[in-house]
Amino acid sequence: MAESRHIWRMVTYIDAALAPLKNEGQIRLYRQEDFAGMRRASRLTAECLDALEDIVRPGLPTDEIDRFVYDFGLAHGALPATLGYKGYMKSTCVSINHVVCHGIPNEKPLKDGDIVNIDVTFLLDGWHGDSSRMYKVGNVKRAAERLMEVTYEAMMRGIAVIRPGATTGDIGHAIQEYAERERCSVVRDFCGHGVGRIFHDAPNILHYGNSYGSEAERHDAISKGRDIELKPGMIFTVEPMINLGRPQVKILSDGWTAVTRDRSLSAQYEHSVGVTETGCEIFTLSPRHEA
Ligand code: MF3
Ligand code: CO
Ligand code: CO
Question: What is the predicted pLDDT for the residue at 6?
Answer: 59
Task: Measure CA 45 to chain center.
Answer: 13
Residues 6+ apart with CB under 8 A from 1: none
Atom of ligand 1 at shortest range from CA of 90: 12
Residue nearest to atom 12 of ligand 1 (CA): 82
Nearest of 151, 169, 198, 166 to residue 34 by alpha carbon: 198
**Which ligand places an atom closest to the C-alpha of 85?**
1
Ligand 1 pocket: which of 121, 200, 237, 283 to mutate (most atoms <8 Å of CB)? 121
Atom of ligand 1 at shortest range from CA of 270: 4
Cα 201 to ligand 2 centre (Å): 10
Atom of ligand 1 at shortest range from CA of 119: 1
Q: pTM for the whole thing?
A: 0.96
Largest CA distance in the chain: 66
Cα 82 to ligand 1 centre (Å): 6
Q: Provide, for the chain, the percentages of residues in helix, strand and coil under a 3-state DSSP scheme, each rounded to the nearest 5.
A: 25, 25, 45
Cα 200 to ligand 1 centre (Å): 9
pLDDT digit string (tens) for the chain, length 291 residues: 555 555 666 789 999 999 999 999 999 999 999 999 999 999 999 999 999 999 999 999 999 999 999 999 999 999 999 999 999 999 999 999 999 999 999 999 999 999 999 999 999 999 999 999 999 999 999 999 999 999 999 999 999 999 999 999 999 999 999 999 999 999 999 999 999 999 999 999 999 998 888 888 888 888 877 789 999 999 999 999 999 999 999 999 999 999 999 999 999 999 999 999 999 999 999 999 987
Question: What is the predicted pLDDT for the residue at 242?
Answer: 99
| Dihedral angle sign, alpha carbons of residues 190, 196, 166, 9 | positive
Question: What is the predicted pLDDT for the residue at 47?
Answer: 98
| Rounded Cα–Cα distance for residues 210 and 261 (Å) | 25
Question: What is the predicted pLDDT for the residue at 7?
Answer: 60
Per-position b or e across 146-183, b if 16+ CB within 10 A of its CB: bbbebbbbbbbbbbebbebebbbbbbbbbbbbbbeebe
For residue 127, the SS3 value is strand
CB 69 within 8 A of CB 119: no
